[in-house]
Structure 1
Amino acid sequence: MLSYQHIYHAGNPADVHKHALLCWMLARMGAKPKPLTYLESHAGRGLYDLDAPEARRTGEADAGIGALLGGLAADHPYLRALAAVRAAHGARFYAGSPRLAVELARPGDAMHLAELHPGEFDALHDTMRGYGARLHRQDGLEMAMSLCPPQVRRGLMLIDPSWEVKTEYRSIPDALQKLHRKWNVGVLVLWYPLLRDARHRTMLAGLEAAGLPGAVRHEVTFPPVRAGHGMIGSGLFIVNAPFGLEEEAARIATLFA
């Protein structure tokens, strides 16, 4: 969807849920001395100025990183990565998942990022300059189908659509099954919003019926970040979930209690 720009939502409660668990998974997988491939289907611009007019217009970060991070352990990989980004760019910046992943990457790791929006892609190019990531201005799932299995087979893919196209809810279960068949050892991480109309339920029924291995579903709920906002929670569906994920997800859930 070429209208979506995450700057309006950066640092909101869903970002805290998604990024805290993403960083934990990358740190967990990176603890072994074997290289990783990181892929992302909808990378956005990778770095967000929370003083920008778009971010201040919605103020969603106030209910997210402004209210929730104090409940994390000081050495949590999410906080470590975010602190490194802010040390480089300033305290009012928030890192998108590509920039967080850079902070947790090691020599020998590979990274492929897809972004279709022309303005967001140009900003992503600036954000990721010098980090060795391969950028793809194309549909993220098409990128994944063409690259999987990656040369470095051990790795993780984040699938994080805008969900502004309702057909995505119907197509995602089939896409995840195809990706898993091509890359059966890859950790596949799907983020989805919990909306008042519960449109995600049919998609989840399809995913759960597929019997994908090591599947973990985790959801948190929170009040709407502003009047009239339809998102009331955040969900992750993870295939080949790393060991210990369910325990970490339970800890993250306490932030939203």
Structure 2
Amino acid sequence: MLSYQHLYHAGNAADVHKHAALALVLDYMTVKDKPLSYIETHAGRGVYDLGAPEAVRTGEAAQGIARLKSGFPSDHPYIRALERCQNGLYPGSPAVALGLLRPRDRLHLAELHPMEHSALKGNLTAPNVRIYRQDGLALAQSLCPPEPRRGVMLVDPSYEVKAEYGRLPKWLAGITRKWNVGVVMLWYPLLTSQAHKPMVQQMKKDHPDALAHEVRFPPAREGHRMIGSGLFIANPPYRIDAGLAGLSALFERGA
């Protein structure tokens, strides 16, 4: 959906959940001295100024990273990713990944929105990063299985088009057939409408060994329909449960 710009929502509670979980996964995956591939289907602009009028207007960062950051231990990989982002900017998931991955790892980032794509190209420049202006779901299909075969994929649609809830289970099943060793993380919002439930139920049926991790939080403002954040993780890394349990506890405390 070409109208979506994440700056209005950057640093919100869902971003904290998504990016902290991604940081845990990448931290685990880079323990082995073997290169890996990172694929992101909806990359946005990569980094965000939380003082920009768009971000301030919604107040979502104030209810997200500003409220929750103090609850993380100083050695958490998410905190390391935040500290590596320059000029006080907030790292989106591409910057979290680039900050935690190694020069020999390969990053493939898709962004279809022309302005966001242009900003992404300016914000993330590294020899091991390749940026595409094309549909991210189609790109992922064309890249899988990637080289190196070890790796992580983050799927982070806007869900502005309701049909995405219906198409994603079949798409995910196709990706995991082509790339049966890849860790595939699919984010979804928890809305008051409960629109995510049939999608998650189908994915659990298709992937009985996968992991679904959800956290809940208060609406960012009156009338806001998002009340939580979910991640469906196919081929979850061994022992990632402990790190995710820590995330659950942080959100339950609220800081």
Q: Which residue of 2 aligns with 1:218?
A: 213
Question: Of 151, 166, 170, which aligns to 2:162?
Answer: 166
Partner of 1:252: 247
Q: What does residue range 1-257 of structure 1 map to in structure 2 within 5 Å?
A: 1-85=1-85, 88-90=86-88, 93-210=89-206, 212=207, 214-257=209-252
Q: CA deviation at 1:70?
A: 1.1
Query: Given residue 237 of structure 2, which amino acid in structure 1 is its aligned partner?
Result: P
Whichever residue aligns with residue 103 of structure 1, its letter is G
CA deviation string 1:6-53 (max 9, x = no partner): 000000000111100100100100010000100000000001001111
Paired residue secondary structure (1:27): helix
Partner of 1:74, secondary structure, is coil
Contact 1:40 1:113 in 2 (8 A): yes
CA shift, 1:131, in A, is: 4.8
CA contact (8 A) 2:105 2:128 kept: no
Q: How many angstroms apart in 1 are the aligned matches of 2:137 and 2:41? A: 6
- Could you state the TM-score of these two structures normalised by the residue count of structure 1? 0.96
* Distance in 1, Cα, partners of 2:187 & 2:23: 14
Which runs of 5 or more residues in structure 1 are unaligned? none
State the alpha-carbon separation in 1 of the partners of residues 209 and 22 from structure 2. Answer: 16
The percentage of aligned residue pairs carrying the same residue is 56
Could you tell me which runs of 5 or more consecutive residues in structure 2 were left unpaired when the two chains were aligned.
none
Q: Distance in 1 between matches of 2:186 and 2:147?
A: 22
Say which SS state the counterpart of residue 157 (structure 1) adopts.
strand
With normalisation by structure 2, the TM-score equals: 0.97
Whole-angstrom CA distance in 2 between matches of 1:34 and 1:221: 35
Q: Distance in 1 between matches of 2:187 and 2:82?
A: 20
Aligned residues: 252
Q: Say what the alpha-carbon RMSD is for the aligned residues.
A: 0.9
SS of 1:149's equivalent in the other structure is coil
Deviation, structure 1 residue 254: 1.2
Name the amino acid aligned to 1:228.
Answer: G
